[in-house]
Amino acid sequence: MRNLITTIAALLTLAATAGAQDLFTAPEGNWVRTSMTQRQSEFPKINEKGEYWFRFQAPSTAQNVSVKFADGEFPAKKDAEGYWNVIATCPKPGYQLYYLIIDGVRYADPGSEVTYSNGWTSTIEVAAPDDTFYEMRDVPHGEVREHWFYSNVAQEWRRAYVYTPAEYETKHKKKYPVLYLQHGAGEIEEGWVHYGYAARIADNMIAAGEIEPMIIVMNNDFVYRPGDNRGRLALADNWSQNFADMFLGEAIPEIEKSYRVIPDAQHRAMAGLSLGGMLTNNVGLANSSMFAYYGIFSGGTVSNPENLDKKTVKYIFETCGELEYPERIAKDCETLNNMGFKASYYVSPGTAHEFQTWRRSLHEFLPLIFR
């Protein structure tokens, strides 16, 4: 009986599909593969107007199919060959995440670059009016190194991504200041490199003489002690303290042992986006004799300014997207200034809680530190 009903249902679905006259037809224009289209795929494509054409398979049984961005969902239409298509007009500038939604379930698009951001998600890089500051330029390039060390706190080998400036390989005696830069709750330690473009931003600014050469160290935010529960967003219950123990007690000493760094507070900075900004607050500013410079990007405001080490702290920088909470960070910087701290803020025009905000925040932050 069940098989019979299934068969009838399938036949009726087929009839409904065959009766449809609204097939997608290929649009006019000059469509080329995007910078994120994977090697073996022809789609997504982009045209001269900056429109994106997504084309993909869906299960034979699929009925409602769409492409979903952070700020918009586009229904997909089948073409004569059975592929589903979306023309998406004007996605927001910068690094945009998207999914295929197939009858209520989200999938990564097999055609485009896939990355980890709160699960596996597809990406496109949309042209931005200010995208020159993170473009790949013909300047000396530093390296990003995968550096492994053992953590007794987490009882595991951990990987840090370490950016060393181009001159690090030739100036064998020179020692460098270090920025410790944390990712957000959705990402891993490579996030700042592979879509925050931290290395490119630093390379371009060093080459232009806008900042001093520095080392940038990116650790993973997530530290579990054996037996820890994973709560919301996979955070351990005691996530701040776990991170503090690993970061202050293990990661920083490891970096200072392994690289030519100036190992004092005036040559240490800490910054992070979102969860990384909260760690900068909960771990960095809570140990303010350790770091002179702080950046909180879309990560709230300073929790306990009255406890800060006035002798050590040189600059606090707060940022967020225009669509987040500009008033909060403006007010917090005013409070900090009134307490005698150097503090300022930056609001990224037209953006929300997204990487374009954080690329711009890093670009604004770097010239303020180690000066």
In the complex, the residues that contact a second copy under the rule CB under 8 A are: 1-3, 5-6, 8-10, 12-13, 15-16, 19-20, 38-41, 57-63, 102-108, 110, 114, 116, 118-120, 136, 138, 141, 143-150, 157, 162, 169, 172, 193, 199, 222, 230, 233-234, 258
Q: Are 268 and 292 in contact (CB under 8 A)?
A: yes
Q: How far is the CB of 329 from a second copy (least distance, A)?
A: 28
- Cβ distance 203 to 139 under 8 Å? yes
Please report how close the Cβ of residue 305 comes to a second copy at its closest, in angstroms: 32
Identify which of 207, 177, 181, 204 has the alpha carbon closest to the alpha carbon of residue 192: 181
Task: Tell me the closest approach of the beta carbon of residue 245 to a second copy, in angstroms.
Answer: 19
| Gyration radius (Cα) of the chain, Å | 24
Q: Residue written as tokens 């606090």?
A: 316
Q: How far is the CB of 275 from a second copy (least distance, A)?
A: 12
Assess contact for 47 and 29: CB atoms under 8 A. Answer: yes
- Judged by CB, which is closer to a second copy: 213, or 295? 213
Please say which residue, 7 or 304, places its beta carbon nearer to a second copy: 7
Q: How far is the CB of 112 from a second copy (least distance, A)?
A: 9
Region of 82 (left: φ > 0; alpha: ψ -120 to 50; beta: rest) is: left
Return left, alpha or beta for 336; rule: phi > 0 is left, psi -120 to 50 is alpha, else beta: alpha
- Report the distance separating Cα 60 and Cα 329, nearest Å: 50
